[in-house]
Amino acid sequence: MPDFLGGKRQIGDLSVQSLCAFKYDYKNLPMMYGNWSLLKYDRKHHIGLAAGHDDSDTCALFKAERPAVPVPDADLSQSSTGRGLRIGSAYARVLSIYGPPVKRGRHFVTSYSATVPGVSVTVPRRTVELPERITLVIDDGRVSSILIYINESGLS
């Protein structure tokens, strides 16, 4: 079953991740790692929010030290996926939401896949299933990063 950061929001025929779907002034936001924009940073809780720019709907929420560039401040401590997963959630919560396989260790990455229904932009319109990848970083039994990637290249 698909999941979204901030829950799902409909824009036209697309279901997008509402946490990264707001109208940001991307030209004035810092770019990182090529095609990512740092949208907001929670200075109190040390949490960043970033969006990718390619043929995808990509949104990431993560623990991070204060960036060296100016970025809008926001309280991101209560931001979550549509299913209630947030930074600091216990790994047991991850398993209750997404299921196994169970991994062990102080630091590891795990991922889950799903499909998101969509409607093509070409005529005739057709229903498509877009691949989704949910990637989580777990540190000391707690979620420290959530990245949700929905490949939208199948919409054309």
Would you list the domain boundaries of the chain? Answer: 8-155
Residue 47, classified by CB atoms within 10 Å of its CB into exposed (0-12), middle (13-18) or buried (19+), is buried
What b-and-e string marks burial along 115-142, b requiring 16 or more CB atoms within 10 Å of the CB?
ebebeeeeeeeeebebebebebbbeeee
Residue 121 DSSP label? S
Q: Is the predicted pLDDT of residue 21 greater than 80, yes or no? A: no
Average pLDDT (18-47) is: 78
Chain mean pLDDT for the chain: 87
Lowest mean pLDDT among 1-5, 12-16, 57-61: 12-16
Q: pLDDT tens, 87-129?
A: 999 999 999 999 999 999 999 999 999 998 888 888 888 888 8
pLDDT of residue 31: 62
Place of tokens 């169970």: 102
Average pLDDT (33-53) is: 88
Can you tell me the distance from the alpha carbon of 80 to that of 30, in angstroms, rounded to the nearest whole number?
23
